[in-house]
Amino acid sequence: MGSDSDDAKEKDMDSSREGAWAAAGFAVVLVIVGLPVWWYTTTVYRAHLPYSTIEDLSHQLRYHGISLSVIGAPSYTFSEDLEKHLKSSRSIKFYVTSRQSEKNERERLKTALSVEELDEKMSAATKIVTGTLALFILPDSNSNILDAADAKIVVGRHRNVYATADVDMPTLTSLLKNMVINSLANKKAEGNKVLHDLKGSLRKEAMRQVPTEPGYDVTLTLMIPEPHFISVAWNARKAVEDYLKPFVSQLESITKISIRSQVLYMTALSVSPMWSSSYKHFALPQEQLPLTINAIEAKLGSYVRTRPSLHFVVYIPKQDQSPLHIHKSDGTPVEENSFMVPRWGGVMIHNTPVPEANASMPYDVELDTHWIMATVLTHLQKLLPVPHIKPSEGVLVLSASKSCELTGWELDGLARARVSSYLANIRITLQSLCELVGEISNMVISDEVGGWVWGAVEEWGECLTATREGRLKEATLYCSTSFIQADAAFFHPSMLALLYFPDNQKYAIYVPLFLPVSIPVILSLKVVFGLYRKRTPIKIKED
């Protein structure tokens, strides 16, 4: 019986080994063919993204390098002292160089009779490039010019600052810092958290500034709610040419602004003013202002442009509401009779003379172009982060030769603020892109999006270096291209293609297919392993 059963055992062992091989074969086919096919057909395509570079760049220091040349410093200690005072800021780094004034500069200094003349002559003599500043220390013999203007420090029209040798150092340094960049814009770029910590009025001011984008659409809207009473002759074309064109062409290298104008008839602001008998006009309380523009928003949109738009509305009040004046919360009229809407634009209320009782309708009205355009410019400058120097004693700030233009240092400051904001935006965009890709497994990254990201990262790095080295023009260029690319990648429609494909649908398809196949295979594998384990004790026994 023993040998017989051994034979049978042997036979059984063979056949069971065969079965085991078959089971293993199924498993192998499933693993070698099935898994790759499944993986290949269900995997989400992802182009390679530069995660580590993005991480590196977002931790790099961001500061603006500004070279400041001190010309004609009275002593070595002066410039050293200045440098020490300028060091405190985290986001601005001054590179101070010092030299003696040249002969022709001294000569020009002597001949200048007024501050304006001095500035003109000096800026003609020394070319100060974009993104840098020059500080002229006037020798005592010439300081009488400044004394005549009743100032210790004079800020020139270009990129020059004039001071006497006995200038108060903290005043000078804080002035220089304010000239270089709009402090609020700088804070804004550091992130929302910093912004929320700001105090009431400052925060309001910071929130007012328009988001930094490569271009803006400015629309001037003249609102005439009652064209049957008033016919307005206003040459918008000429007004734009005269007042806004110089400003726009000055900003050309920093941001593109396109200007349109339109007339809206039969549309009124939704206001309900009250008659103020003390001022003999209709009073529009300040609290009502936020609601005024809702009524016209529907008529201001564009179906073509996607750039942020700024609206400036000139409103001619209705006959039964004019003259109309905006009142402050304490009940006194606002002098400018206009208000700004944060990140949106501004509204000006233009009162027209009351017609005589028997005048024929509609009567002609001329608009005060100068007032309108000056207000538009002020609003526009406030909406953009142009650096601003608070008036203080002993400081004279020369404004640009044409009232509608910006001075050299203002332009530089604006460019710097925009670069800061761009850098912050790029960092946030790319970081959140990386985060999203990590979080959402269904997100497709096509080669096109990958290309945008790689491009954005490259330009971003260039921009950071250029900013630190103070090459402002290049920084603006690199940053804006990087910003555009990062945005294009983040908002690419292909990213959302599979986002809404829920997991339960996946299982609904996989389960009926995989469950009946994989369960027998896995169970048989278990037995195969069991067999493998049991074969060893048999051998021992036979030995």
Partner 1 sequence: MLLTDKMWLTLGVLVTIFALVSADVEESNTFTEELLIKPFPSGHVQSHFEFTTTWRNPEISHSIENYKDFEFSHYDLFPRALGEIIEAYHVRELHLSLTQGLWRHQIWGYPVVDAPPGAQLWVWFNPTVDNLDQTWKDLVNALSGLVCASLNFIDSTNTVSPELSYRPQGIAEEWYAGNSSLMRYAALPRENVCTENLTPWKKLLPCDTRSGLAVLLHPAPLYTANYHALSIHLRPSCVDKSCTSPQLELVQALSLVQNPTVSMNGHQDWSLYHLFSTKLISVCPLASMSVIYVDITNNNNKFSLYPEPYKVRKSGSGSSFRKHAVYDINDTPPNEEFDLEAHYKSRHVYGFIPSPVLHVSRFITGYGQEGGSITVKLTNTGSEPLSVVYLEVLPWYLRLFLHTSHDENQPMYVSKLVTALDRERGWLYEAVVEVQGKSTVELSLEFTRALLKWLEYPPDANHGFYIPAATISTILPSPKNVAVNNLGGSTLGDKLILEEGEAFIRIHTETLLVSLPTPDFSMPYNVICLACTVVALAFGPIHNITTKKLVLKKVEGNASPIGRLTSKLKNIFKRGGKKEAEEVPKQDPVIVEENPLFEDREELEDIEEENEDVRIHGKTGNEVS
- Distance in angstroms (rounded) separating the CA atoms of residues 207 and 205: 5
What separation in angstroms does the CA of 277 have from each of 257, 282, 286?
A: 43, 8, 18
- Distance in angstroms (rounded) separating the CA atoms of residues 219 and 309: 7
> Is 13 or 436 the residue whose CB approaches partner 1 more closely?
13
- CB 299, min distance to partner 1, A: 7
> Is 219 or 485 the residue whose CB approaches partner 1 more closely?
219
- Contact residues for 435 (Cβ-Cβ < 8 A; gap 6+): none
- CB 357, min distance to partner 1, A: 17
Neighbour-count burial of 156, counting CB atoms closer than 10 A to its CB (0-12 exposed, 13-18 middle, 19+ buried): buried
- CB 449, min distance to partner 1, A: 20
> Is 390 or 541 the residue whose CB approaches partner 1 more closely?
541
- CB 311, min distance to partner 1, A: 12
What separation in angstroms does the CA of 439 have from each of 87, 435, 443, 504?
A: 41, 6, 9, 18
> Is 14 or 447 the residue whose CB approaches partner 1 more closely?
14
- Distance in angstroms (rounded) separating the CA atoms of residues 315 and 292: 11
- CB 492, min distance to partner 1, A: 17
- Beta bridge partner(s), residue 154: 162, 396
> Is 169 or 264 the residue whose CB approaches partner 1 more closely?
264
- CB 422, min distance to partner 1, A: 26
Structure tokens belonging to residue 342: 């944060």
> Is 115 or 222 the residue whose CB approaches partner 1 more closely?
222
> Is 20 or 146 the residue whose CB approaches partner 1 more closely?
20
- Distance in angstroms (rounded) separating the CA atoms of residues 182 and 294: 31
- Contact residues for 135 (Cβ-Cβ < 8 A; gap 6+): 68, 69, 70, 71, 82, 160, 161, 162, 163, 172, 176
> Is 115 or 259 the residue whose CB approaches partner 1 more closely?
259
Whose structure tokens read 């949109």?
301
Residues that bind partner 1 (CB under 8 A): 5, 9, 12-13, 15-16, 18-20, 22-23, 26, 219, 227-228, 236-237, 240, 259-263, 265-267, 298-299, 301-305, 362, 509, 512-513, 515-517, 520-521, 523-524, 527-528, 530-531, 534, 537-538, 541
- CB 303, min distance to partner 1, A: 5
Neighbour-count burial of 25, counting CB atoms closer than 10 A to its CB (0-12 exposed, 13-18 middle, 19+ buried): exposed
- Contact residues for 507 (Cβ-Cβ < 8 A; gap 6+): none
Running DSSP on this structure, what letter comes out for residue 18? H
* Three-class secondary structure of residue 518 per DSSP: helix
- The pairing of strands 345-349 and 309-315 is parallel
- CB 541, min distance to partner 1, A: 8
> Is 262 or 401 the residue whose CB approaches partner 1 more closely?
262
- Write down the H helix ranges in 181-284: 183-189, 192-197, 200-208, 236-239, 245-251
> Is 438 or 520 the residue whose CB approaches partner 1 more closely?
520
Neighbour-count burial of 508, counting CB atoms closer than 10 A to its CB (0-12 exposed, 13-18 middle, 19+ buried): exposed
- Write down the H helix ranges in 282-359: 289-292, 294-300
- CB 506, min distance to partner 1, A: 12
What separation in angstroms does the CA of 104 have from each of 132, 144, 176?
A: 21, 19, 26
> Is 4 or 287 the residue whose CB approaches partner 1 more closely?
4
- CB 266, min distance to partner 1, A: 5
> Is 226 or 469 the residue whose CB approaches partner 1 more closely?
226
- CB 22, min distance to partner 1, A: 4
- CB 241, min distance to partner 1, A: 10
Neighbour-count burial of 223, counting CB atoms closer than 10 A to its CB (0-12 exposed, 13-18 middle, 19+ buried): buried
- CB 229, min distance to partner 1, A: 9
- Write down the H helix ranges in 222-342: 236-239, 245-251, 289-292, 294-300
> Is 114 or 302 the residue whose CB approaches partner 1 more closely?
302
